[in-house]
Amino acid sequence: MSTTKVIIIDKQPLFRGGVKQAFADRSEFKIVEASPDDNLPLIIEEDLPDVILLDIDNPSLNGLKVGKSLIQRYPAIRLIIMTSEINNDELFEVIRIGAAAYLDKKATTQELESMMHRVSHGEYPINDSLLATPTVAEHVLKQFQEMVSMGMSVESVTAPLTNRETQILRYVADGNSNKKIAQILDISEQTIKNHVSSILRKLNANDRAHAVVLAIRRGWISAGD
């Protein structure tokens, strides 16, 4: 069984120690502790973790700012953001910086273990947070669209999608099913499925919601669409 290396960055030694102790008898995980005041690049580059657990409650850490810098510097490492209180505005920012998951620090050991397993295998559980409540999804996507329409800073790169794929993704963003999109465009549902599969592959997205988030964050879909 392969070992998943995890670095937990938190200002509270007791919390860090508690997490490490909780996984002490699980050989599939290796937990390394780090404080926000430590030389994080040195620790990360020495241990080369698969996953980073980052507490963003510490004001001196500039939580999300540090999270963004870690993702930019170590794109192959999956980042799980931990917070004492989940809220929609913060969820928007967590998605924006590209974190793989957003977790309440009151989560159980089983929930954390599941999250680390999923993230280390390339999943983005943060999409669950987005899809769990339609009003939350609407709130988050609207914020991304407003950023784009106002010309605010987003990841602006050329979309690798064809015009037809971009058109279909816009309909997906509006909440349309494959069947409905097929009716709108007067083409077969199987063709739509093929296009969606191509979109997910090109964007390296896990699902339709993840593809929409990536496209809006990068400015490929605007509020005007």
Q: What is the pLDDT of residues 58-90, one digit of tens each?
A: 654 478 888 888 888 887 888 999 988 877 778
Q: Both 146 and 123 in a single domain?
A: no
Question: Which of 79, 97, 132 is a domain's end point?
Answer: 132
Question: Which of 103, 132, 161 is a domain's end point?
Answer: 132
Q: What is the pLDDT of residues 138-181, one digit of tens each?
A: 666 666 666 555 555 444 444 577 788 889 998 988 888 899 99
Q: Both 110 and 152 in a single domain?
A: no
Q: Residue 224: inside a domain, yes or no?
A: no
| Strand, helix or coil for residue 83 | strand
Whether residue 125 is predicted with pLDDT greater than 70 in this model: the reply is yes
Question: Domain range spanning residue 72?
Answer: 4-132
Q: Residue 11: inside a domain, yes or no?
A: yes
**Sequence-distant (≥ 6) Cβ neighbours of residue 25 within 8 angstroms:** none
Q: Residue 103: inside a domain, yes or no?
A: yes
pTM of the model: 0.65
CATH number at residue 42: 3.40.50.2300
CA pair distance 93, 5, nearest whole angstrom:
26
Tell me the residue type at 145: Q
Whether residue 224 is predicted with pLDDT greater than 60 in this model: the reply is no
Higher pLDDT, 28 or 122: 28
Higher pLDDT, 18 or 131: 18
In total, how many domains does the chain have? 2
Whether residue 198 is predicted with pLDDT greater than 50 in this model: the reply is yes
Q: Counting Cβ atoms within 10 Å, is residue 206 exposed (0-12), middle (13-18) or buried (19+)? A: middle
Q: Both 25 and 55 in a single domain?
A: yes
Nearest to 64 by CA among 49, 74, 79: 79
